């Protein structure tokens, strides 16, 4: 029983720590690797459909095979991973921030619809977590700006993401909502993959490589006595 409780509460603890460590500082970390690691962990965490989509499907009565099949990302709602990889770091962060702002607006709309619904608390937690990601995106952009000596040419970012299409039909709104969330989770997984390419790989120093190349094997019989 204790192990089950640990497994259930651990994700919530991780979410809380990531969010609090971001917001409690009241500023931005100047350490690139630490900030990158936290941002990637947040992206990977939110890439899991259990954080939003699965709960949404269950509470909206879409948890049947025929309906779940319709909860697939609508093409163009969020930039693809290939599109993200084609951006400079600054443009990538700008695109990510714009997408997160759109997600926050959508979650706020979901909250209004679910004011008396059990999922309201989950939506509130998700909204705060997305705010934490957005804060780290801002910090990373500031860090990159301060470390760059020259301005890099900007590249056109992918087209703006689309929010769920408004519809007078309540059922269709539910379907559009789950399509949007499916796209959001996929987008965050893509973000995590791209951020993984930003990690600095450990490299040996040039001096160490020269010393290794400069060594020559000496026949055993010729070694000095």
**Structural domain boundaries of the chain?**
31-147+166-198
181 vs 207 pLDDT, higher one: 181
Q: What is the pLDDT of residue 88?
A: 96
Q: What is the pLDDT of residue 199?
A: 84
Span 31-147+166-198: which CATH code? 1.20.1250.10
117 vs 69 pLDDT, higher one: 69
Supply the DSSP string of 14-82, one letter for each residue.
HHHHHHHHHHTTSS----HHHHHHHHHHHHHHHTSGGGTHHHHHHHTT--SHHHHTT-SPPTTSS--HH
**CA 205, CA 164: separation in Å to the nearest integer?**
51
Rounded percentage of the chain residues whose pLDDT exceeds 90: 48
- Residue 98 is given by DSSP the state H
Structure tokens at 186: 């996929």
**CA 189, CA 120: separation in Å to the nearest integer?**
24
The answer to pTM > 0.75 is: no
Closest by CA position to 99, among listed 18, 198, 168, 194: 194
Rounded percentage of the chain residues whose pLDDT exceeds 70: 65
Cβ neighbourhood burial of 137 (10 Å; 0-12, 13-18, 19+) = buried
Q: What is the pLDDT of residue 59?
A: 84
Q: Is 76 left (phi over 0), alpha (psi -120 to 50) or beta?
A: left
**CA 138, CA 33: separation in Å to the nearest integer?**
15
**CA 48, CA 118: separation in Å to the nearest integer?**
20
Is the pLDDT confidence value at 84 over 50? yes
């Amino acid at each position: 029983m204790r192990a089950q409780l640990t497994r259930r509460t651990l994700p919530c603890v991780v979410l809380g720590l990531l969010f609090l460590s971001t917001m409690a500082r009241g500023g931005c970390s100047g350490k690139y690797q630490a900030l990158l690691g936290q941002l990637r962990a947040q992206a990977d965490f939110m890439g899991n459909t259990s954080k939003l989509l699965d709960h949404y499907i269950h509470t909206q009565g879409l948890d049947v095979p025929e309906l779940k099949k319709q909860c697939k990302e609508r093409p163009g709602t969020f930039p693809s991973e290939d599109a993200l990889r084609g951006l400079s770091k600054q443009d990538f962060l700008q695109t990510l921030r714009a997408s997160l702002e759109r997600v926050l607006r959508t979650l706020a709309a979901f909250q209004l619809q679910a004011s008396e619904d059990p999922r309201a608390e989950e939506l509130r937690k998700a909204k705060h977590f997305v705010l934490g990601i957005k804060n780290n995106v801002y910090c990373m952009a500031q860090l990159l700006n301060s470390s760059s000596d020259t301005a890099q040419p900007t590249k056109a970012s992918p087209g703006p993401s689309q929010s769920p299409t408004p519809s007078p039909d309540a059922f269709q709104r539910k379907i559009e909502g789950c399509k949007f969330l499916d796209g959001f989770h996929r987008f965050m997984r893509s973000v995590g993959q791209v951020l993984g390419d930003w990690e600095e790989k450990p490299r040996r120093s040039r001096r160490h490589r020269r010393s290794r190349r400069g060594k020559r094997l000496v026949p055993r019989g010729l070694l000095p006595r």
